Structure 1
Amino acid sequence: MPGCDPLGLCQYQTNKLVRIQSVRLGSLKWSLNAAILLFICVMMLWNRKYQDFDPVVSSVTTKVKGVAQTRIPGVGDVVWDVVDYSGPSQVGAWSSGFDDFPLFVKKRALSRLFFFSFQEKNSFFVVTNVIVTKNQKQGKCPEVPSKGRPCRSDQDCERGAWDQQSHGLQTGSCVRFDVMKKTCEVSAWCPIEAKTTPPRPALLTAAENFTVLIKNNIRFPAFNFISRNILPQMNDAYLRSCHRGNDSLCPIFRLGDIVREAGENFAAMAVEGGVIGIQIKWDCNLDRLMQRCLPRYSYRRLDEKESNRTLYPGLNFRFAKYNTVNGVEERTLYKAFGIRFDVMVFGQAGKFSFIQLIIYIGSTVSYYALTTVLIDWLLETSCYSAEAGQNYSERKVESVPDTQQCILCVSYVDEKKLRLVKRSRKKSLQDVKPMSAQPRKEDSGHLRAVLCLLQPDVTVDLSAPPPPDQKPDPEPRRHRPGWCKCDCCAPSVVPAEELCCRQSDGACITSSPLFQRLVSDRSLLQAVLLYQDPLSPSVGGAQTAALRHCAYRQYISWRFGVPPDDTHPVIPSCCVRRIREEYPSPDGRYSGFRPVRMVSVQTQKNGGERQSSSH
């Protein structure tokens, strides 16, 4: 369809189908289609592809409860109850940068011994271990060797120097830390915290028996749906007695159970601390007949637990308790280790949508192409009948050669097979090496028609072989082209026309009685033309040209039979010369070799016309 033709917009094109009448293939087709339909329906119901989805929007609050007693070195027995961790520490987040707050804020917030639990957004922290440094005062003292630089004299210490590992500012003096070591003196809270490794076992392993109430409110804005993990039927009596061991919807969790279900040991994790994720998944179906919207809980550890694989393992922070003794401010420094629990909420809600159902059906229709792909593969392989597969392939597939590549078909009188060669513009066709050789396929229809036409007037002994030394052309041998083998070919400047009827030296095919009767006999050619066109002209130049081209077609049908698809049969130069001598052009001009595609026998049955190479 030309791109500039406006009438082409009014055309409609559709695919051509090949229908195979076979019980086996038909049964296989419907079995595969049924399996694909079943798969599509199962996946649609399993993944709810017929629904429109909306992601969850949520908020989380937590409340930790528990009482424990432990002995802290240098402090003594300490009891933590609900008052100690339900105070101001739950309003804001604690961090290692707590010392940046003003002094009066720290004094008020740390009026108790210390708070071992605090909350952040969607998370809460529980202290499980601690390092205590008592009675620190503002003053001057030697820096801890692990944090400072060893020195021999005051020249090794720089006054006012400080780095990230220091506890204070250097005074410029080198003082003795112990009997063996000397370090630079610093202005800091003295004595400086010297212990860095936490106690083993952890001081507060009893925290595994603490419980936390998680309140999770969710909303799906697209559907205007609101819910929470504390269900309407859960009253105060239920929350006091529920246990997750026998009720998976209970919103009260034991910390030890959370860590255990995350695949960790609470006692081992309590030494250095870590991070545990509590995942709440909401997968809600809001359709009336199948409405379901309940939370599902899962747990996992989020930090690297092995100390030898990470630079700063666990989780810890520092805080202090301040007091005044004899007018001098003192503090007790605590380095707290603990477990942070992050509550992560994710999920979606789905509701029936006709649009989504249509989109899913449209996207899965292409799966039925798998049936065609599989059956085509079976027909093209040895898994099915080879004859049926070849017949199917011939009817379905039409090969179209590249316009830049012309495949020529050559038939020699001294060879039984047809040669397929590529057209060359430099070498003579006689010298081009063949791509392949194919057996000759007889044109039975043409053979029967010719025999019928020959029956009334058979006067030649067709079985008599031609004399081996017969030379119909008296032209001297020295004028024979180098590529000619029969001494009857005419010179040519077109490489595609430089073809002899023989591959080796011998008699020319034009000397055969069959050539004269099947190709050049005028009465036979006229009968063929009348058979093809009863109203064809009987006299004049048009009749001579028609006889010449009919002779070409007769030779092709005789020597090539049915040429392979998408190939161009080439008539030898000696035969073209003889035909032109019998039926010459009035002006002496001929078109020469012009490849024309050979139409298959099946196409002829459907109304097509067989064509040949023009000369």
Structure 2
Amino acid sequence: LAMQGCGALVCSAFEYKTEKLMIARDRSVGVVYRLMQLVILAYIIGWVFVVKKGYQETDPDPETSVITKVKGVALTNSTEGPGQRLWDTADYVIPPQGESRFFVVTNLVSTPRQRQGLCAENPNVPGARCQEDGDCPAGRTFNTGNGICTGRCVPTNGTARVCEVHAWCPVENSPTPREAVLREAENFTVFIKVSVNFTRFNVHRRNVLEEGDSSYLKSCEFHPERSPLCPVFRLGELAVRAGASFSDMATRGGVIAVHLAWDCDLDRDLSACAAQYRFSRLDSERSRVAAGHNFRFARYSWQDGAETRSLLKVYGVRFDVMVSGKAGKFSIVPTLLNLGAGLALLGAGAFLCDLFLLYASKESPQYRQRKFERSEEDGPVPPQQDAVRARSSSTPGTANSS
């Protein structure tokens, strides 16, 4: 006997196993097996190939370029701000280069004609109030202060005493206007030109109408149904589509995102490869701490031989243009890979049914006995086959009877 003449582990290395087909007339297992096949086929055809387009090669990371240009003028007359003033693009758009992020000034606090010198700190700065000079050690600074302490405690225009500082004087001490100075900004327009380049397929697309002339851009305004290919947006309309009110945001500022997404099926006509827009507000309108969006900048000049500046604390709406894209085209490689994965899933269904028949059903011993057998040369013949041979040898054959 071969298995007795060598170790089982060594001999098993030189065995060859081949499948044996067996028809099991088990209705419950048959129903489960067909249901599994239907589910797997529906997944492969419906999800992998129809929904996810598993037959396509994709380019999920295109090269992108964003150019923005804001247009509009307004005349303001504010007693709390800089007075009567005409505002154009160079005044209220920061930065002026037209990048993917741009800021439109809608409100401001101006502190004009500042010069470097010694003056009283703003009494609203935490820690700036004092009773004597010892409360203001020289060289001390405050977290939200405007200068460096000189070591003196000086009176202010009111009854309070504050630390004297070396700073740009007079220091900023103006409340935020209750109404936006540049309320007309909601009627300004912005031209957003976006280009995407799917380098894998050498496909270049823009959100601008490729046919026509420049006069179309001078008169159109974006609308998702009437003018979906017009890249000119009114700022107030952007806020509305983001679920916000531009007039409310104009007082303390905010952030609005403009999302452009390309999802292109290059197996179809290229004209269907167009940008889809989505708008959202990124800051929280309900926040009471650090609400809105503001920053400071200064404009410098020389007066009477001394450097002078006008400090501007500006509030406004920042617009972030975000671009994403994906393009797909038929390729034999992903098609074969997904087909192979689907066939493997079908084989897994048969494997699970085999496990149930061989180890979990009531008749699993009989199924295992019929499923697995060893050839006569490698081991003893099973007892059932011995009985069959004994019966056949006791029965006269055709040749003997003749």
| Counterpart among 290, 313, 329 of residue 351 in structure 1 | 329
- Pair 1:41–1:165, CA change in 2 (3 A): same
Please state whether the residue corresponding to 2:362 is helix, strand or coil.
helix
With normalisation by structure 1, the TM-score equals 0.53
CA contact (8 A) 1:74 1:134 kept: no
- Counterpart residue number, 1:103: none
Deviations 1:387-422 (A, max 9, x none): xx634x343357xxxxxxxxxxxxxxxxxxxxxxxx
Q: What is the percent sequence identity of the aligned residues?
A: 38
**Which protein is bigger by CA-based radius of gyration?**
1
**CA distance, structure 1, for counterparts of residue 122 and residue 270 of structure 2:** 67
Matched to 2:366, the amino acid is R
- Pair 1:265–1:15, CA change in 2 (3 A): farther
How far residue 313 of structure 1 moved from its aligned partner, in angstroms, is 2.6
Please state whether the residue corresponding to 1:223 is helix, strand or coil.
coil
**CA distance, structure 2, for counterparts of residue 244 and residue 345 of structure 1:** 17
- Counterpart residue number, 2:180: 202
CA contact (8 A) 2:69 2:190 kept: yes
Deviations 1:368-404 (A, max 9, x none): 34477589879999xxxxxxx634x343357xxxxxx
**CA distance, structure 2, for counterparts of residue 322 and residue 234 of structure 1:** 45
- Pair 1:239–1:291, CA change in 2 (3 A): closer
- Counterpart residue number, 2:400: none
Matches within 5 A, 1:24-43: 29-30=33-34, 32-43=36-47
Please state whether the residue corresponding to 1:367 is helix, strand or coil.
helix
**CA distance, structure 1, for counterparts of residue 140 and residue 32 of structure 2:** 86
How far residue 213 of structure 1 moved from its aligned partner, in angstroms, is 1.0
- Pair 1:176–1:289, CA change in 2 (3 A): closer
| Counterpart among 53, 58, 69 of residue 53 in structure 1 | 58
Deviations 1:158-216 (A, max 9, x none): 22333442212222221101332101111222221113x52223222321221111111
- Counterpart residue number, 1:155: 134
Matched to 2:58, the amino acid is F
CA contact (8 A) 1:260 1:266 kept: yes
| Counterpart among 71, 82, 93 of residue 65 in structure 1 | 71
Matches within 5 A, 1:35-434: 35-43=39-47, 44-54=49-59, 55-72=61-78, 73-82=80-89, 85=90, 114-118=91-95, 119=97, 121-147=99-125, 148-195=127-174, 197-245=175-223, 246-287=226-267, 292-308=272-288, 310=289, 312-368=290-346, 369-370=348-349, 373=352, 390-391=362-363, 393-396=364-367
- Pair 1:188–1:42, CA change in 2 (3 A): same
Matches within 5 A, 1:554-573: none
CA contact (8 A) 2:33 2:349 kept: no
Matched to 2:52, the amino acid is N
CA contact (8 A) 2:70 2:93 kept: no
**CA distance, structure 1, for counterparts of residue 147 and residue 330 of structure 2:** 66
CA contact (8 A) 1:284 1:291 kept: no
**CA distance, structure 1, for counterparts of residue 163 and residue 171 of structure 2:** 13
Q: Which structure 2 residue ranges, 5 or more long, are not aligned?
A: 1-6, 370-379, 389-402
CA contact (8 A) 1:285 1:291 kept: no
- Pair 1:137–1:27, CA change in 2 (3 A): closer
- Pair 1:68–1:373, CA change in 2 (3 A): farther
Please state whether the residue corresponding to 2:217 is helix, strand or coil.
helix
CA contact (8 A) 2:68 2:98 kept: no
CA contact (8 A) 2:69 2:98 kept: no
**CA distance, structure 2, for counterparts of residue 607 and residue 203 of structure 1:** 105
- Pair 1:121–1:289, CA change in 2 (3 A): closer
Deviations 1:554-575 (A, max 9, x none): xxxxxxxxxxxxxxxxxxxxxx
**CA distance, structure 2, for counterparts of residue 349 and residue 127 of structure 1:** 37
- Pair 1:77–1:397, CA change in 2 (3 A): farther
How far residue 276 of structure 1 moved from its aligned partner, in angstroms, is 1.8
CA contact (8 A) 1:25 1:375 kept: no
Deviations 1:105-126 (A, max 9, x none): xxxxxxxxx4444256421111
CA contact (8 A) 2:29 2:353 kept: no
**CA distance, structure 2, for counterparts of residue 253 and residue 323 of structure 1:** 36
**CA distance, structure 2, for counterparts of residue 367 and residue 50 of structure 1:** 17
How far residue 331 of structure 1 moved from its aligned partner, in angstroms, is 2.8
CA contact (8 A) 1:123 1:341 kept: yes
CA contact (8 A) 1:137 1:191 kept: yes
How far residue 327 of structure 1 moved from its aligned partner, in angstroms, is 4.5
Matched to 1:80, the amino acid is W
**CA distance, structure 1, for counterparts of residue 76 and residue 257 of structure 2:** 27
How far residue 341 of structure 1 moved from its aligned partner, in angstroms, is 1.1
CA contact (8 A) 2:298 2:311 kept: yes
Matched to 1:228, the amino acid is R
How far residue 340 of structure 1 moved from its aligned partner, in angstroms, is 1.4
CA contact (8 A) 1:258 1:299 kept: yes
Deviations 1:516-572 (A, max 9, x none): xxxxxxxxxxxxxxxxxxxxxxxxxxxxxxxxxxxxxxxxxxxxxxxxxxxxxxxxx
With normalisation by structure 2, the TM-score equals 0.79
- Counterpart residue number, 1:531: none
**CA distance, structure 2, for counterparts of residue 361 and residue 299 of structure 1:** 39
- Pair 1:290–1:240, CA change in 2 (3 A): closer
- Pair 1:290–1:42, CA change in 2 (3 A): farther
Matches within 5 A, 1:454-473: none
- Pair 1:306–1:263, CA change in 2 (3 A): same
How far residue 23 of structure 1 moved from its aligned partner, in angstroms, is 7.5
**CA distance, structure 2, for counterparts of residue 33 and residue 255 of structure 1:** 54
| Counterpart among 377, 384, 391 of residue 605 in structure 1 | 384
Greater RCO, 1 or 2 (C-alpha within 8 Å, sep 6+): 2
Q: CA RMSD in A?
A: 3.3
How far residue 59 of structure 1 moved from its aligned partner, in angstroms, is 1.1
**CA distance, structure 2, for counterparts of residue 378 and residue 280 of structure 1:** 54
- Pair 1:3–1:230, CA change in 2 (3 A): farther
How far residue 248 of structure 1 moved from its aligned partner, in angstroms, is 2.0
- Pair 1:242–1:378, CA change in 2 (3 A): farther
Greater share of residues in strand: 2
